[in-house]
Amino acid sequence: MATVNITETDFEKTVTDGGIVLVDFWASWCGPCRQFAPIFEKVSENHTDAVFAKVDTDANQGISAALQIQSIPTLMAFRDGIMVFRQAGVLPANALEDLVTQIKGLDMEDVRRQVAEQNAAQGE
């Protein structure tokens, strides 16, 4: 699957529809973003069971601010609507491949339990 462009209006639906969603936050003027784009595109072709989405931070400043994107590129990964990875900077292709494999292997029941525990601890 090729990468898809998403905006503020479809970001939430895209990441909460279920499954694995990787989101690349980028801008056209950003050199490292231009370096990462072909890596992101190539890895997306190897994983047709995941969504590889791109958010232009200049055109979508609201969502970028809400998610506190402070440097680009920033990669976020979601599985079943839960953010499971976030990192700024360029990932080499082999690291991105490894990340996707790790996300596919996650025990989501355990992840949900950990999220519930964190939410309970913050609510105290």
Query: Is the CB of residue 24 less than 8 Å from the CB of residue 36?
Result: yes
The single residue listed with the structure tokens 């700024």 is: 88
4-123: what CATH class? alpha beta
Q: In the chain, which ranges are E strands? A: 4-5, 20-26, 50-56, 74-79, 82-88
Contact 36, 90 (CB under 8 A): yes
The separation between CA 4 and the C-alpha centre of its own chain, rounded to angstroms, equals 12
Is the bond into 73 cis (omega within 30 degrees of 0)? yes
Q: What is the structure's pLDDT at 18? A: 77
Note the pLDDT tens digit of each residue in 96-124. 999 999 999 999 999 999 989 988 888 75
- Which pLDDT tens digit goes with each residue over 21-74? 999 999 999 999 999 999 999 999 999 999 999 999 999 999 999 999 999 999
Strand 82-88's sheet: what is its strand order? 4-5, 50-56, 20-26, 74-79, 82-88
In the chain, what are the domain boundaries? 4-123
Q: What is the pLDDT of residue 124?
A: 57
The residues carrying an active-site annotation are 30, 33
pTM equals: 0.92
Beta strands per DSSP E along 35-109: 50-56, 74-79, 82-88
